Amino acid sequence: MEYRQFGKTGIKISELGFGCWEIGGGYGSIEETEFIKAVNRALDLGINCFDTAEAYGFGASEKSLAKALGSRRKDAVITTKFGVGYPDATNYRDGSRKRMTACIEKSLTALGTDYVDVYLVHWPDVNTPFDETMHALDDLVKQGKVRAVGVSNFRLSQIQEAVRTRKIDVVQYCWNMFDRRMQKEIFPYCRENNIGVMAYGSLAYGMLTGTLNEEQAFEKNDWRSNRGQLANLNLFQHLFGPEYFLNNLRAVEELKGIAKRYGKSLPQFALRWTLSNPVISTALVGCRNPREVDDNVGALGWSISDADMKEIDAIFTKHRVVSSPESWLES
């Protein structure tokens, strides 16, 4: 396994991170026994980054991760998140001190631990002053319940407002071949300020697995069955929306050819692309079973040539792929 510095946290994080959204529900059927085996296989291979959130099944993902880690919790760098999914809150979001205080205790209980390594605000709550949120996060660090703090999916202006109160250690954003919005403002800011960056959606929610097809029928309990519609989020429309889906699949077919030149699977090639950006600390990817973990580590220890990086861009242009939509991550 290869490791990178996690911003200024002092933590060395594995280049590949294990994303735990899927086990929380919403991605079709997943066997918990296979998930547990996958987590332990990841640990055996040196993967130490495990990312979950309160909103992933409201405790379900955290509890499954705790069960999987068992006595190996000390070998894991756990990131969890709060701040979204509350029916009693405006826009289902709440970044208040009161909510955070309650949520961290629930997460610690679900995870079976007395601290988390990184605690993030999952989505910005514009109805709570950011200074309240950041002061509350800082207090969690002082209490020893959290080692580092940060935000996910914040606009640059929101980050700049938040850091007036407390520095941000880590951020988490979508970053893959099909979504490059963060290269414009967010990543340059993180590079300049030495902020750790977690990339989620590294395989574009399945698009870069190479297993989808034009007649794709997702399970009813899979959010992708709505063709990219998930509340007010603009993360997915340009991937699965009917005006984009077929063009994206055609681009993927051509990407397989480049991956083959390297003797790599498409997921390995896509993960390598994500990690090619030096601002990235870790690339998160969900794993349903040990076989997927084993495949993912094939993304490490090699590089994509400049010529092939340009060919990827040419393929996207050819198929009219929209990789940097003007819209932000939500409407």
Residue tagged active-site, from 3, 27, 56, 244: 56
310 residue type, one letter: K
User: Would you say 225 and 219 are in contact if contact means Cβ atoms under 8 Å apart?
Assistant: yes
SS3 102: helix
DSSP state, residue 232: T
DSSP state, residue 48: -
Catalytic site includes residue 56: yes
**What distance separates the 2 farthest-apart alpha carbons in the chain?**
54
| Ramachandran assignment for 125, one of left (phi > 0), alpha (psi -120 to 50 degrees), beta (any other) | beta
Going by C-alpha positions, the residue among 71, 70, 27 that lies closest to residue 285 is 27
Rounded to whole angstroms, the Cα distance separating 134 from 168 reads 9
String of DSSP letters for 122-160 = SS--TTS-HHHHHHHHHHHHHTTSEEEEEEES--HHHHH
Give catalytic residue positions: 56
